[in-house]
Amino acid sequence: MRKLLDEKLARFEELERLMDDQEVLADSSRFAAVAREHGSLTKLCGKYRRFKQLNAEIEEAKEMLEGADAEMRELAEMELPGLREERETYWNELLDLTIGGADANRTHCILEIHAGTGGDEAALFARDLYEMYKRYCESRGWKIELMSMSPTEIGGFKEIVFGVDGEGCYRELQFESGGHRVQRVPETETKGRIHTSAATVAVMAEPEDVEVDLKPDDYRVDRFCASGPGGQHVNKTASAIRLTHLETGLVVSCQDEKSQHKNLAKALRVLKTRLYEQKRAEEQARRSQERMSKLGSGDRSERIRTYNFPENRVTDHRIGLTLYKLDVILGGDLSSVIEGLLDYERQDLRNSFGTIE
């Protein structure tokens, strides 16, 4: 953790220098990107600077305790408990701010929800998950932007992709990645039998433009007419965009805007985010021998949670958390689940990093 914090502080100080650089000041888009990244690190690095300062003051007080001056020893004895208490507070706050590693303090992320096994019922469940996250984001004051969706005839989603913008959004939503399972009686079930369906969720930190070098030559652009359930959803002009990244084969489509330029801009954001996520996953794989959270890697194949309607129950399998208020949680009040996950990771971090001395 200390290494991560030192790296973040070094980057923060580099950004401070860049914001005074005349070349950066002359380039408005680059300056905006630098300013955004600087702003995202301000809270963390401000606390870490104070933490380091407290460490220095504690060491100085310890030296005073060993000195010959009785007055200075008395002063050090009075100051040390307060300094240690303040340092403990800052340490706990830094632990909270670093849950999730290097991307913990991202203020932008992209969520993808895909219907899994279960046909139409899985698509309806994907819609329910989207509504749940949408309401939670609204309750937190975060902005939501729809990127793309593939609706079904009965009102579900085969896939839906949306961006979230707000302080703490990635930190709180990161552990939602994985397989979500629902057990309920579908609306189309005449005999009252309980069915099991699934959907997968991926939460990806959205990088700044300067972090992913994506040139027009790196991808192919295909333009086509938007499609949908029918009627007004079908676009007769070629406003829909499909991007294919030539090196990796990643494909992104966006057709929800009437403007081709807006669809292209959104598709590029999603493609950059997926490329960044792929790079991050590769780095995690290379560090597979190092500590990894028991909460999992966010692999979509990993079943993380069950939503059982007959029992009004939600169970998160990673931390053994069971709550009998499914209606409240699907209504958008995810706070008890998210706090449970953050508390678990917070304790795991404390156990891993030991004392702050």
How do residues 238-272 score in pLDDT, each as one tens digit? 788 999 999 999 999 998 888 888 999 999 999 99
- Check residue 230 and report its DSSP letter: S
pLDDT on residue 66: 87
Q: What is the mean pLDDT of residues 287-291?
A: 44
Whether 233 has a pLDDT exceeding 50, the answer reads no
Reported confidence tier of residue 58, pLDDT bands at 50, 70, 90: very high
Look at the alpha carbons of 282, 288, 290, 294 in this order and tell me if their dihedral is positive or negative.
positive
- The mean pLDDT value of the chain amounts to 87
Reported confidence tier of residue 228, pLDDT bands at 50, 70, 90: low
Per cent of the chain over pLDDT 70 is 89
Q: What is the mean pLDDT of residues 164-192?
A: 89
The burial of 176, by beta-carbon neighbours within 10 Å (0-12 exposed, 13-18 middle, 19 or more buried), is given as: buried
* Spans of all domains in the chain: 2-98, 99-357
- CA dist 309 and 231 (Å) reads 34
Are the C-beta atoms of residues 141 and 125 closer than 8 Å to each other? no
Question: Which DSSP string do the residues of 242-294 spell out, in sequence order?
Answer: EEEETTT--EEEE-SSSSHHHHHHHHHHHHHHHHHHHHHHHHHHHTTTS---T
CATH class belonging to 2-98: mainly alpha
How do residues 120-131 score in pLDDT, each as one tens digit? 999 999 999 999
How do residues 298-329 score in pLDDT, each as one tens digit? 455 678 999 999 999 999 999 999 999 999 99
* pTM (two decimals): 0.76
Q: What is the mean pLDDT of residues 138-157?
A: 94
The partner residues of 342 in beta bridges, in order of sequence, read none
Whether 231 has a pLDDT exceeding 50, the answer reads no
Are the C-beta atoms of residues 157 and 149 closer than 8 Å to each other? yes
- CA dist 106 and 71 (Å) reads 48
Q: Which of 78-82, 91-95, 136-140 has the lowest mean pLDDT?
A: 91-95
What CATH number has the domain spanning 99-357? 3.30.70.1660
Instruction: Determine the distance from the C-alpha atom of residue 136 to the mean position of all C-alpha atoms in its chain, rounded to a whole number.
Output: 14
